[in-house]
Amino acid sequence: MLDAAGGTSYVYTPVYYREPEPELPPAPKKPDVQAAADRVMDAGERPIIKDNYEKRLDVFAQEMSQGDAQYQAELIDEILKRDPGAFDSWLKSNRVHDLTGEGLLTTQERDTIFRGMKAGIEGCRFNADEIPANFIRDSKDPALIASYMRRQNTEDRGGFERSLTAFSGVPADQMRSFIADPNNKTLVRDFTLSVQRHQDWYENQTLDLLQTVTTPGGVVSHQHDAPVSFSKEQLAAMRDAFRDNDGLKTNGELLLAYPDRIERNEEVTRQYSQLSHDMADIVGKDNANWATFAVWASDEIGRNLEGGLGIELGEMGLGDPRHWLSVGNSKLISDIGPGFQHFTKVFSDPANRNMSFEDFWAGFEAEWGGRGISYLDGGQDTQLDMKNAFKAYHEAMQLRQQETDLGLKGPGHEQEIAALANRRGQLMLYANTLVGLQEQDIIQPEIEKGMQSGAGLGPVNLWGAGRHWIDLHSPDRTFHTNESFPVSGDRVKLDATFTTVDGKTIRLNDALNDRLAGLRGDDKDPSDPASAATGHWERYGERMTYIYHLFAEYQRDGTLFTDPRVAFDSRATELNNDPHYPYG
């Protein structure tokens, strides 16, 4: 190269030393699934006597440890094709745990077996329905149990049974984390909904089975294990987890956590009592709210579950009134309870009491939507009874605050306070009745079935709801549903107006009278207390007329806030599944 003067110049180009690329080790050879399956199936084989299952399982665990999750799933798949009866002979979860405890398998080998099964289920290497639910349950492996449950169609009875059996294997010390795990949120929600749908079958699988024998000293009942059982520790962990979740057990959570009917009824009554008092703190204790009446109804059901003439008549007719009473009571707290739960949760803080009703309801839908509640998600409440009920409770809350503010100003506002209190009482009656309309509608099937004979001959009591069939009790009297109420000076009378959630202005008395008249379909005036008496409790219209007059006549009875379990000493006496008994 010439420079500017015509000479020659040179350009220096540096040369860098580069280390040679290291040779990569060859990719690990994937274990041969067929050869591994051969070794497993040959292990422990004996020509005459039973094969050595422990030896085969030991070799199986060793082979499972040689590859990744895909290999493990393929190996299990191949072994099950060769030996479809493996789960009935050598491949049992209990044996896996036993050999691990004896030191013949390592903890890692045990976990590898269950991890491989999980991989196969999630990768659809084999049909999860073909894996015995008992194997999954006995694995006590929460991750495997969750994967198995996700693959079950719980709409189907068989799928639900497999899912329930598997769930019963979650260890007590891992139950709370299983339920609280965000990855299991949808799984747990859908599973608890399926428990509600299959309650009839579920109760037959989980109720204590009693065998009664007569001895020279009297009658003795012997308790036997139910086909699907949970330990006290598992139940306690479930209850704590569901309480942590939302404070109220819904959508089958109640059924799961309290499989015993009487014990479950006690929990329902306790929840109603808590809601009743929490509501009273917000809307006033001078008027009973719907949950207050529900406490007494639930306690009544509890005592009927323990027996009585009406129950005996139903069972003599080959019906099953105890079952249907239990189903109805569980359904109600699971469906109606969340509305009261959310109301009391939000407005227990006085700072929230200026919140608009629209904002309250939007928050309720956001928190509780998608959980099978009848009056959310376009469910079974076409007339918006529950939404209007809570709008009325919301206005009653605001009226009570106005009464309090006027009272703080000193004397001279008595008439204003009385007028506000009168309107508040009317709104409470309206709200209570609307909730009653919804709850009685959704349990109508259970009431009808509970009062039918097993032979399908109609109501067991041919005269309808006679005094020995459906009686209600308060601390100072018995209510016979075939008798009317005496009218007292404390009766709440409706003459106020109200603006509904769809913007209509109604007169409360006319609106309720029209609803009840339409339900009855006869010529009786439902606003007349003489129409309260019902000869047929199974008829929705007659039953609701009685309930309306019960509310109107006794809403201001302060004794309703007494705990009936104390008043009647009716607390369940044999809570054999409840580690928290007695309640405080």
Q: What is the DSSP string of 57-75?
A: HHHHHHHHTTS-HHHHHHH
Both tokens of residue 132?
Answer: 């015995």
Judge whether 138 and 92 are in contact, CB under 8 Å: yes
Angle at which helices 261-283 and 290-305 pack, to 10 degrees?
160
Beta strands in 96-229 (DSSP E): 209-215, 218-224
Of 123, 138, 169, the position where a domain reaches its end is 169
Q: What is the dihedral of CA 183, 185, 189, 191, to 10 degrees?
A: 30
3-class DSSP state of 20: coil
Of 169, 192, 226, the position where a domain reaches its end is 169
My answer on whether 161 and 278 are in the same domain is no
My answer on whether 399 and 532 are in the same domain is yes
Model confidence pLDDT, tens digit, residues 242-253? 988 877 777 688
Of 148, 169, 190, the position where a domain reaches its end is 169
My answer on whether 425 and 544 are in the same domain is yes
The range of the structural domain enclosing residue 114 comes to 33-169
Q: Whose structure tokens read 């009824």?
A: 265
Q: Is residue 1 part of a domain?
A: no
Rounded-to-integer distance, Cα 350 and Cα 334, Å? 27
Q: Whose CA is closest to 424, among 446, 453, 393?
A: 393
Q: Is residue 555 part of a domain?
A: yes
Cβ-based neighbours of 206, under 8 Å, separated by 6 or more: 226, 227, 228, 229, 230, 259
DSSP secondary structure, 282-319, as one string: HH-SSS--HHHHHHHHHHHHHHHHT--HHHHHHHHTT-
Both tokens of residue 144?
Answer: 């495997």
The one-letter code for the residue type at 176 is R
Judge whether 498 and 389 are in contact, CB under 8 Å: no
My answer on whether 441 and 293 are in the same domain is yes
Q: Is residue 582 part of a domain?
A: no
Both tokens of residue 327?
Answer: 């189903």
Beta-carbon neighbour count of residue 66 at 10 Å? Answer: 14
Phi, psi torsion values for 538, nearest 5 degrees: -75, -10
Q: Whose CA is closest to 532, among 521, 540, 518, 544?
A: 544
Q: Whose CA is closest to 479, among 403, 533, 519, 425?
A: 533
Q: Is residue 401 part of a domain?
A: yes
Rounded-to-integer distance, Cα 289 and Cα 296, Å? 12
pLDDT of residue 469: 54
Q: Whose CA is closest to 338, among 426, 434, 229, 250?
A: 250
Rounded-to-integer distance, Cα 335 and Cα 376, Å? 10
The one-letter code for the residue type at 347 is F
Q: Is residue 42 part of a domain?
A: yes
Q: How far apart are the first and last CA of the chain?
A: 103
Number of domains comprising the chain: 2
Q: Is residue 191 part of a domain?
A: no
Q: Is residue 363 part of a domain?
A: yes
Question: Biggest alpha carbon distance in the chain?
Answer: 135
Question: Could you give the C-alpha distances from 528 to 241, 464, 565, in angstroms and in order?
Answer: 48, 21, 33
Cβ-based neighbours of 444, under 8 Å, separated by 6 or more: 540
> How deeply is 326 buried, as exposed, middle or buried, from its count of CB atoms within 10 A (0-12, 13-18, 19+)?
buried
Rounded-to-integer distance, Cα 286 and Cα 225, Å? 47
Beta-carbon neighbour count of residue 439 at 10 Å? Answer: 23
> How deeply is 577 buried, as exposed, middle or buried, from its count of CB atoms within 10 A (0-12, 13-18, 19+)?
buried
Both tokens of residue 147?
Answer: 């994967």
Ranges of the chain whose pLDDT falls below 50: 2, 208-225, 462-468, 572-584
Rounded-to-integer distance, Cα 449 and Cα 325, Å? 10
Judge whether 527 and 533 are in contact, CB under 8 Å: no
Rounded-to-integer distance, Cα 207 and Cα 261, Å? 8
pLDDT of residue 20: 64
Rounded-to-integer distance, Cα 264 and Cα 578, Å? 9
Q: Is residue 193 part of a domain?
A: no
3-class DSSP state of 407: helix
